[in-house]
Structure 1
């Protein structure tokens, strides 16, 4: 009896070691790529896989489409991305929008095998957006992907699942940036954990997108005024008073990053910290089995912020 118990214990131990080994191998086989989110493309030498925003679509009094200017030829096998506001999807009919998008894409000289759509759809725009994706897929006859938010997985029965080839989970911007009391609107793993449900049921295979950028949010009387992307904490060493964690008060009116700020304004500095990125990566691996071994970082401007190979290996 004792011998059988030891054999069983040994078998369980081997199984656990095998699981740990496979998990480690999966992490080590991860590849990374980048978003390019500028309105002009100027990178002369690039070896990275890129997801390049090519169209920026919004609706104010009319449909507005901003095309990315390619001053330099884009790399081969890049994936063009179209950003569409939810207001556009609530206002413009799917068939009309598809025609506009196809015309804009046809004006480019580059070739592509896959297209990605970035739209944070709502319940009011869901039907039109999903119709748009189906029409676009039919007309292009190419691989089509769509960005997905955490809440769209937790509540997927309500929000719906787009008819695309795969989803790219945007694991950032998960809390309201305009709330004065928000801790970190870029990446807050405490908030993210509240949405880590239904990954085992979600039908789309997922890639993961993580942030690399930092920013400062300007407040006046606790009302949001402006966002300064690319700031670093040392930008607040002069003419600012450090308050609680991440908050700084303007001591005298001056130009900050080319914009005039007033005495008494409050800035909240937010960053995508290495430790937070590690936690986000580990959490995603725990909850998602139906995934690709690719992480897309936003954006390539900050590619040298961390050693990304070490980060993905968990070192």
Structure 2
């Protein structure tokens, strides 16, 4: 009897390890909220809520998200900062304004996320900004990371934060007429699959759920229509090549006047492309979080996301 138990023990142990391993690898889904007012009812999803939108024209411009309803417990406030604002505003003033605005949020949170596509010219200042925010807020700090910032990490640097969120979309030039899909193109993404094995920041993955139409006139991008579907091109358009539609007559389209001869490139985040992107990421990332953040909560019902797992 003891001999049989001894033989069974290794198998039981392996089974336990397998169950534990699969439990650890269970992927959770969360969402970005990117509107200027928060008014969700009965939301049960984990959210990363944009709370500040910071830009610079002649002066620093800050748009604060208005909370009409209370966010779900465990939400993460996100601060979007343009690279121009990071370059123009003095560091001490930027830190002070961000912290002061965060104090106005009437809800508790444990983490702050910064979304800024920094450049080589703003890198040092941005990293100092991150250190100051982390020190003075006494919160966990995360930042968004682009694919090129991993491939060229020696040049772009490693942000001094707790972890990064890899924005696995907007990877192509939206204004280039010849771009196939600026939202998500896995062939383009794979051109940046370098240095993941040595990148020191632990990463979460962010994927797109939105669609859009990019309007061109004489092959120059002039406007974007968010949330389009293929059925929107059923009338007054001619398909000239895959996902490129020419306007047959001038008319009001989604509240805006478009002209005969204009071309709209339809871009979408296809389910199959999302699956490929997710599989690629989890094969690449050295030590990832098993959490995927989708942009945005507005499109949460677009697919049965559980089928991505």
Contact 1:93/1:128 (<8 A) preserved? no
* Correspondence 1:82 to 2:63: no
**Bigger Cα displacement from structure 2, 269-278 vs 90-99:** 90-99
- How far 1:26 moved relative to its partner? 6.7
CA contact under 8 A between 2:243 and 2:267: conserved in structure 1? yes
Alpha-carbon distance, 1:25 to partner? 2.6
Q: 1:272 is matched with which residue: 269, 273, 277?
A: 269
Q: CA RMSD in A?
A: 1.8
Pairwise CA distance, 1:91 = 0.9
Q: How many angstroms apart in 2 are the aligned matches of 1:108 and 1:289?
A: 35
CA contact (8 A) 1:26 1:293 kept: no
Q: Offset at 1:241?
A: 0.7
Q: Deviations over 1:66-96 (max 9, x none)?
A: 0001111111110000000011111112211
Other-structure match for 2:8: none
Unaligned runs of 5+ in 2: 1-13
Does the 8 Å contact 1:208/1:294 carry over to 2?
Answer: yes
- Gaps spanning 5+ residues in structure 1: where? 1-16
Q: Please identify runs of 4+ aligned residues in structure 1 that moved more than 4 A.
A: 21-24
Instruction: Count residues in correspondence.
Output: 295
Q: Deviations over 1:30-55 (max 9, x none)?
A: 00000000001110110000000000
Q: How does 1:240-251 map to 2 (within 5 A)?
A: 240-251=237-248
Between the aligned partners of 1:299 and 1:223, the Cα distance in structure 2 is 28
CA distance in 1, matches of 2:281, 2:23: 13
Within-5 A mapping of 1:11-160? 25=22, 29-160=26-157
Shift of 1:62: 0.2
Counterpart mapping for 1:155-170 below 5 A: 155-170=152-167
TM-score, length-normalised on structure 2?
A: 0.93
Secondary structure of 1:144's partner?
strand
Match of 1:231 among 222, 228, 236: 228
* Aligned mate of 2:185, from 167, 184, 188: 188
- Match for residue 285 of structure 1 among 282, 286, 295: 282
1:105, distance to aligned residue in structure 2 (A): 1.0
